[in-house]
Structure 1
Amino acid sequence: MKTVILKDLGTIEYGEAWALQEQYLKAGLDIKSARFHGETAALEQAIAHYLFLCQHPHVYTLGKSGIPENLLINDQRMKDLEVTFYKTNRGGDITYHGPGQMVAYPVLDLEQFFTDLGRYMRTLEEAVILTLQEYGIVAGRLPGSTGVWLDADTPQARKICAMGVKSSRWITIHGLALNVNTNLDYFNYIVPCGIVDKGVTSMKQELGRKVDEEGVKQVFARQFAHVFEAALIAPAAAVPAS
């Protein structure tokens, strides 16, 4: 069973969280490079796996293949809304992060799991689908699109979890954002994920009540451990796969 170190970063500025992921990515890449060049000491160095959970102050992020015009407001309006903007190196288009969202950044060496990015994305989606199931929310996938959706095969299709990742030599960064108690008004100022004919939703909106965010993180951590057949090691305890 693989071991993944679980770290709850709390509320953290987007750029700081991104820099942290890049730091761990570089550490893993350095070990792989040393192994490639025959450095024997590197053969005994383990590449650690991490799952960072957090939320961000209001921010819009644009993926490397995203269309800038999908941000529908100017700099002054963003300043008025106290929202920042980052152009990132993840996949996908534009999305919003903010208070009331559960953001998960797995930094995994997929060579120790499976070398299939499509399977990786579907596995992340499955962890979210199973999490929502525990709250009585039936979720699934929309063919041809990443993320987790409700009523995906109907005109009422709406996204509850956005995803965008990057992989370098099979080490992953970036991840997913599940709308728990998110203020959905902030999605009105973008074309979410570049999709013009679908809406967004949150657990709060679907359930008609505020949801305990700490509880969602705990459920997601358990389901993540389950789908990746891993043990999450937190400072206090391990969360074994079920």
Structure 2
Amino acid sequence: MNKKVELQNLGVRNYKETWDYQELLFKRILDLKIKNRREKLNVETPNFLLMVEHPHVYTLGKNGDIENLLISKEELAKINATYYKINRGGDITYHGPGQLIGYPILDLDNFFTDIHKYLRFLEEVIILTLAEYDLKAERSEGETGVWLDVGTPFARKICAMGVRASRWVTMHGFALNVNTNLGYFDHIIPCGIKGKAVTSLNVELNRKEVPLAEVQEKVLKHFNHLFEAEFFKSETKSLKFTNKFK
């Protein structure tokens, strides 16, 4: 089992460009798995973790309700936001500057073949990260993601999650609000859950800004520990995929 994970810090990238890149990596891993099975080979499959920020964008999961987007296409343009219907689970969410986004593209055959456990591990990575800031983050029963003050009238979501998986290969991932402009959530019913608030790390800490690099370092530490992964870095200037796995 290959537990090496190529870490790619993509910086600020257009959502559609990054989604296409995810799809390319995802397909290459799937193709290699199929080839291994058909030709009775044992070539190691790679794993990736893409870390990125997006310009303002709303994404709707494959089973989401478009009614949860509360503004028109014309109004989207006025707030410099875009919209995409995509192929992950979950409903609608927002991505934007100041948000730490992670897209693990993993072959779970290299780790464990359990999607429920995979989601719980992603949540635990964020829970442990927030604990380092003295925040008690929790899961909310029946609602994927990470929350604060669960079970109270003040429950608020700080990290959204949505994944896609095929043949135990994953894509999409988590979006942790660090210095996020929460006003953009006013234009949606986040994750399709009415009556629940959202928050960000800087708001909870009453700080103007929390360094994204600092938060990422903590996230990677806990990801590495839980998944028993071994990271190696790749600074990607272009999202064009190389053919090294052919």
- What SS does the corresponding residue of 1:147 show, helix, strand or coil? strand
Where does residue 159 of structure 1 map in the other structure? Answer: 157
Q: Which residue of 2 aligns with 1:212?
A: 211
Question: 2:57 matched to 1:56?
Answer: no
Are the equivalent residues in 1 in contact too, given 2:5–2:47 (CA < 8 A)? yes
Take 1:169 and 1:80, find their aligned partners in 2: how far apart are those partners? 41
Residue of 66, 69, 81 corresponding to 2:67: 69
TM-score by length of structure 2 reads: 0.92
Work out whether 1:17 is the aligned partner of 2:38: no
Q: Amino acid of the residue matched to residue 8 of structure 2?
A: K
- 2:240 aligns to what? none
- 2-side partners of 1:120 and 1:81: how far apart? 35
What percentage of aligned pairs have identical amino acids? 53
Deviation at 1:111, TM superposition (A): 1.2
| Larger RCO: 1 or 2 (CA < 8 Å, sep 6+) | 2
Deviations 1:116-162 (A, max 9, x none): 11100000000001111111111010011100000112111000000
**Shift, 1:35, TM fit:** 2.0
Q: Secondary structure at the match of 2:143?
A: coil
Q: Matched residues in 1 for 2:61 and 2:3: separation?
A: 30
What amino acid sits opposite 2:30 in the alignment?
L
The residue correspondences of 1:132-143 to structure 2 (distance < 5 A) are 132-143=130-141
Q: Give CA deviations for 1:101-122 in whole Å, capped at 9, x if unaligned.
A: 0000000001111111110000
**Shift of residue 3, structure 1, vs aligned partner:** 1.1
For residues 80 and 195 of structure 2, the distance between their equivalents in structure 1, rounded to whole angstroms, comes to 27
Q: Are the aligned partners of 2:9 and 2:234 in contact in 1 as well (CA < 8 Å)?
A: no
Matched residue pairs, number? 233
Q: What TM-score comes out, normalization by structure 1 length?
A: 0.94
Mean Cα deviation higher: 21-30 or 170-179: 21-30
Unaligned runs of 5+ in 2: 236-246
Counterpart amino acid of residue 99 in structure 2 = Q
Question: Any idea what SS the aligned residue of 2:213 has?
Answer: helix
What amino acid does structure 1 have at the position aligned with 2:227? F
The aligned residue for residue 175 of structure 2 is 177
* Superposition CA RMSD, Å: 1.1
Q: 1:76-102 CA distances to partner (integer Å, 9 max, x unpaired)?
A: 110000000000000000000000000
Query: Which 10-residue stretch deviates more, 2-11 or 100-109?
Result: 2-11
Once residues 151 and 15 of structure 1 are traced to their aligned partners in structure 2, the CA distance between those partners, rounded to angstroms, is 34
Q: State the Cα deviation string for residues 155-206 of structure 1 (Å, max 9, x = none).
A: 1100000000000110000000000000000000000000001100000110
Residue 90 of structure 1 is matched in structure 2 by: 88
**Residue 144 (structure 2) aligned to one of 139, 143, 146:** 146
How far apart in 2 are the matches of 1:45 and 1:222? Answer: 28
Which secondary structure state, in structure 1, belongs to the residue aligned with residue 144 of structure 2? Answer: coil
2:63 partner letter: S
- 1:34 — aligned with what? 35
The 3-state SS of whatever aligns with 2:51 is strand
**Separation (CA, whole Å) in 1 of partners of 2:113 and 2:63:** 23
Letter in 2 for 1:17: T
> What does residue range 119-130 of structure 1 map to in structure 2 within 5 Å?
119-130=117-128
The gaps in structure 1 that reach 5 residues or longer are 237-242
Deviating runs (4+, > 3 A) in structure 1?
none
Using the TM superposition, give the Cα deviation of residue 36 of structure 1 relative to its aligned residue in structure 2, in angstroms.
2.4
2:174 is paired with a residue of what secondary structure? strand
